[in-house]
Structures are given as structure tokens and as C-alpha cells.
Amino acid sequence: MKLRFFVISIVVILISCSEKKSQKIITAAAYHWKSSYKPTEALLQKVDQAHICKQYIRFFDIDLDQESSSPIPKSLIRFKKRPQSEIVPVIYITNRTFKDANSLLPKDLAQKAAKKINEIAENNAIDFRAVQIDCDWTKSTAKSYFDFLEEFKRGFSNDIQFSVTLRLHQIKFKEQTGVPPVSRGTLMLYNMGDWTNIETPNSLFDPQIIDQYIHRIPEYPLALDIALPIYTQIIVYRNNQFFTYLKNASIIDLQKEFDLKKGDKTNQYICTIDKEYRSKSFRKGDIFRAEKASYANLIKVKKAMKQRITNKEMEIILYHLDEKSFENFSQRQIRQLVKN
């Protein structure tokens, strides 16, 4: 009997040690996606309490200028406060920037983009050890985008790490879209549904859509991190067609503004008055769809991702760093979203 108990105890210990050995190392981060960096002390305290030790800060966008049809930087960041945590500069580049690009464009654009990042960092006394590029490239733009990345990396010291954002379709169809020439990718787990379609239940976050793509995650050759949404958005339809969307808007506040009444579907509301709001003319009968990711679904997807991502060290990045987003969840829930 004693021998049997001893053997069982050894097996339990070995299993426990094996689980600890295979357990992922999770670190927490958050995206900052505003043009002015000035988070409140209350928000920074919440970030600190959640052990979020890194901020991915969007430095600027790159898009085609309508008049010159040339790529230009837009919405450059202004630092009203110096970041105290580890910083990763991010630039967002529209996919159309790389369409019909001649052979000189990716190289020239990469050199200018790298120079601009270094200038912003130097002017604001910001040190960084990594850079991220956000672009929803396609099969037709892959070569130009990848050429850009290769040249872009030459604009920094050898110890800088490079990552890109990834969408689910780029994971599932990697043979068509290609794999970027970097060491790491962040899988953006939001804005995956057709937001223009009034019949879409939730374009911001849908675990059922995610489930259709994640079976190929273990095959992907880059180390992967994930980005989870904690913000909400309101999409407005007129005559069953997409009209506009409202960021950082609470459906509770909008109910007061528009005297909204409940629609037939769970997250739909109907405008009962004509009103000007945020430089837009809203009409009686417009349909408002309130979209958010529930805590339960975020935890479910996080668990599924941890099981499929093969790299031992993984970041969970919350989108994004502002008061309203962090108010959507309790402090305990925020901590649970980014912990192991």
C-alpha cells in the first residue's frame, strides 16, 4: 500500500513539473492609438496594477496623398507626457500604399519611415528595442511590402527586434499571402467581420469566425503574440446600408442623445429623432449596432490561442490605452485577460 502511494506521488510530481515546464510565459502590453500621448494618472495606475509593462505606441500612419498619389506620413504622434514604460514604436501603412508600386517606392519609403521613427524617438528622449509595422497586406502587395520590410530593418541598429501585425486570413492562407521577413507577428483578434453588413451580429469580435481560422496557427513559422479588444464601437446603418461608425461611444450615452429605442436584435437600437452629432446628420429610423467583446469570450479565445501558439514566450496586447476602454472591464478582469 505504501509502495503504491509512493508511486502515485512520484507520478503526480512528474506531471506537475512537466506542466510547469511547458507553461507559457505571458507578458502584458497595450496599444496606444491616439495622435496625442497624454494618458491620465488614473489610467496609468490601472495599467500598473494590471502589470502592463509595455506600450505599443502608434507613431504615425502612411497613406497615399490624393493629389500627388505619393505615400506621406499622417497623424504624427505628439507626446504631451513622456512614457515611463517600455515603448515599441508602431506605424500603420495602408495596403493601397503598396499597390502598383514601382521598384523604387518600397526602398525609398522604408528609408524615410525608419528616419521618421528615429527622429520622433530622439526628439522625445524615447529609447526602444523593438519596432512594429501594421499593414493588412494581400497577395498582390506582398512583394512590395516584404521589400519594404527588408529595407526598413536596415534603418536601425542590429539589436532592434521587428514584428508585424497579422490577420487571421494571412495565417490560414500563408501560401498565398506569404510570410513577412521578420521574427515575430501579432495576431489582431478584432475587426474580423463584415461591418458594412447590417446582418453581421458583431464585426468587432466573433469567436465563431476565429474558430474557422485558428487550426493553422501551430504551422505558422513566426513567433506569435495576440492582441485583444477592450474597446467598444457603434456602427450606424441607414436604409439597411452602412452609414457611419462612432468610436469611443457608449450606447448608454447615445440613448440619451438620440432617444434610442430597443430594436429587434440584442445589440441594435433605433434612432427616434433627427439630430446633428459629431459633424454628422443622423435621422429618425437610423439603426445603431453596439459592438463589444464580452469578458467570457475574450477569456475563451485567449485560452484557445495559448493552446495553439507554439512559442513559449507570448505577449497579450490590449487594444487600446484610453480611459473609456479600461472602464469597460473591472480591474480584476483586466488582470485576468493578461495573466498566464
Lowest mean pLDDT among 21-25, 63-67, 236-240, 316-320: 21-25
CB atoms within 10 A of CB 242: 14
Mean residue pLDDT across the chain: 91
**Which of 256, 226, 195 minimizes the C-alpha distance to 316?**
226
Give per-residue pLDDT as tens, 43-78. 999 999 999 999 999 999 999 988 888 899 999 999
Q: Is 97 exposed, middle or buried (0-12, 13-18, 19+ CB in 10 A)?
A: buried
pLDDT of res. 252: 87
User: What pLDDT does 16 receive?
Assistant: 39
Q: ∠ CA(56), CA(62), CA(64), 5° rounding?
A: 160
Confidence at residue 112, expressed as pLDDT on a 0 to 100 scale: 97
Q: Worst-scoring range by mean pLDDT, 16-20, 45-49, 65-69, 261-265?
A: 16-20
Residue spans in the chain of domains classed CATH 3.20.20.80 = 25-231+292-338
Give per-residue pLDDT as tens, 125-149: 999 999 999 999 999 999 999 999 9
pLDDT in tens, 280-289: 999 999 999 9
Per the document, the length of the chain is 340
Distance in angstroms (rounded) separating the CA atoms of residues 257 and 186:
37
pLDDT digits (tens, 9 = 90+) for 266-307: 999 999 999 999 999 999 999 999 999 999 999 999 999 999
For residues 87-107, average pLDDT: 89
Q: Is the pLDDT of residue 14 over 70?
A: no
Predicted local confidence at residue 87, as pLDDT: 98
Instruction: Give the domain 25-231+292-338 fold.
Output: TIM Barrel (3.20.20)
In 10 A of CB 122, how many CB atoms?
10
Q: Where does the pLDDT of residue 22 fall: very low under 50, low under 70, confident under 90, or very high at 90 and above?
A: low
pLDDT digits 0-9 by tens, 194-251: 999 999 999 999 999 999 999 999 999 999 999 999 999 999 999 999 999 998 788 9
Q: What Cα–Cα distance (Å) separates residue 236 from each residue in 14, 53, 279?
A: 56, 36, 14
Q: Decide if pLDDT at 325 tops 80.
A: yes
Per-residue pLDDT, 104: 73
Confidence of residue 340 (pLDDT cuts 50, 70, 90): confident
Is the pLDDT at 12 greater than 60, yes or no? no
Q: Are the beta carbons of 149 and 110 closer than 8 angstroms? A: yes
pLDDT band (50, 70, 90) for residue 3: very low
Residue-level pLDDT at 228: 98
